[in-house]
Structure 1
Amino acid sequence: MNLLWLFVVGFVCSYLGSIPPGVINVSVLQYGLHGHRSLGLRFGLAASLVEFVYAAATVRFHIFLTENTSFTEDFELVSGIVLTILGVASLLSSNKAPSEKAVEESPRAFRKGLVIGVTNIMVIPFWLAVTAYLQSRSIVIIKGSDLFIYVAGISAGTFALMASVAYLSNRFQKVVENRKTVNKIPGIVLLTMGLYSFYNWFMMS
């Protein structure tokens, strides 16, 4: 498959998936609002690097599952379950406000980004389910070292969103204020993808 296409798909999915307000992008927002854009970029870069590692491990695990015939038959069902759970969880949490902690005016933003990025383990089931969905629809075909191009797109998309938040903090603040509506969008999308996976599994069984 075209490597540029893999990168673009990873980038777009990651950028859009990172828009709903969460601990990481709200932290970057706080840096931006306090005039510390460079610290916000360091924080976002650190979180993006952690996501690269998590996504790479997750996609490699997905490739292992798809190459193992004993898992392939029910993988549509598994991805449907994961996507549905993520969608419902996103909808239920749409009314909860992410914590807004005071930012530190110190160069420790990169270290803080690494720590918070490591605790953001929800990216693992998210990328497992999204990648499974994309491959099952032949939107992407990931084999061997191609996964690093796809994952590089994911990491770049995350950092691009963080940079957008840092430099457009005043505009993004409106997104946070309307989080009830914004957070429902990915929930609806994930739930739709999950139900569609259930439908395909039912039709194939």
Structure 2
Amino acid sequence: MEDLQIYIYTYLAALVGVIPPGLVNMSVAKTCLERGRRNGILMAFGASSIVFFQALLAVLISKFIFSNPYVKNIFLQAGIAILILMFIYFLLSANYKKTQRNIKKRTGTKSFFTGVLVSAINIFPIPYFVLIATLLSNNFKIRFSLYTDLFFALSAALGTLTTLYFYVIFMMRIGGKTELFKRYSNYFMAVLMLILIVVTWFRL
């Protein structure tokens, strides 16, 4: 029964947590539109594999994080630095974007590892899953062990993968109506990074 509780709550939390536009899901959508459904799915798998380790780390340090506000601020400060770098990258990419005809399509392997990289620099799932793990522990009296830690991380990865897959399906369905997004995708990502920087700054 405890395993089922962990799976349901963590899976739903991960699924819902990825729905709002963010670095990972927008990167998957961008890849899907520019390089096709297969590359989008592979990127989603790569991103979700990192979420597994992020969730595992989160459940291991949940009590430590909430008992040490200084450590929590360090995570947020690191996030701001990464977001600023991403903002600059997308802004420069938007101003120096080559035509799609001249861009060599990435192989599936590169799309997978791009998903791994994008998800790895997105540290926001860690405090999110720290909160989920703490709520499960305090409100549902779940005692985390090595087995339940791994089960928690797997549920988080599967929930993330589900939402990212829906993003791929949605983008492929509206493929003919996304020219505006394709043309200004790097500007869109730059604005998204700027919003996340402001939000993170206020959280500090």
Same fold by TM-score greater than 0.5: yes
Once the two structures are superposed, residues 58-93 of structure 1 have per-residue CA deviations (whole angstroms, 9 ceiling, x without a partner) of 212236x4xxxxx9xx74x96xx98xx9xxx9xxxx
Percent identity of equivalent pairs: 18
8 Å CA contact 2:6–2:151 kept in 1: the answer is: yes
**Range with bigger deviation, 104-113 or 151-160:** 104-113
Aligned to 1:130: 132
Secondary structure of residue in 1 paired with 2:146: coil
Deviation of 1:104 after TM superposition, in Å, equals 6.6
Offset at residue 124 of structure 1 (A) = 1.6
Partner of 2:168: 166
Matched-pair contact (CA < 8 Å) for 1:48–1:159: yes
Contact 2:58 2:133 in 1 (8 A): no
Matched with 1:116 is 118
TM-score (norm 1): 0.62
Contact 1:32–1:167, Cα closer than 8 Å, also in 2? no
Total equivalences in the alignment: 158
Change (3 A) 1:121 1:136: same
Are 2:35 and 2:105, in contact at CA under 8 Å, matched by a contact in 1? no
Contact 1:56 1:147 in 2 (8 A): yes
Which of 135, 140, 148 is the aligned partner of 2:150? 148
Corresponding residue for residue 17 of structure 1 = 17
| Displacement over 2 Å in runs of 4+ | 31-35, 99-105, 139-144
CA RMSD of aligned residues (A): 3.7
Q: Name structure 1 gaps, 5 residues minimum.
A: 66-70, 90-95, 192-205
Q: Are 2:50 and 1:27 aligned?
A: no
Contact 1:36 1:105 (8 Å CA) reproduced: no
Distance 1:35 1:168, change over 3 A: farther
Deviation at 1:14, TM superposition (A): 0.2
Q: Which residue of 2 aligns with 1:106?
A: 106
More helix by share: 2
Structure 2, unmatched stretches of 5+, are: 81-86, 98-102, 179-187
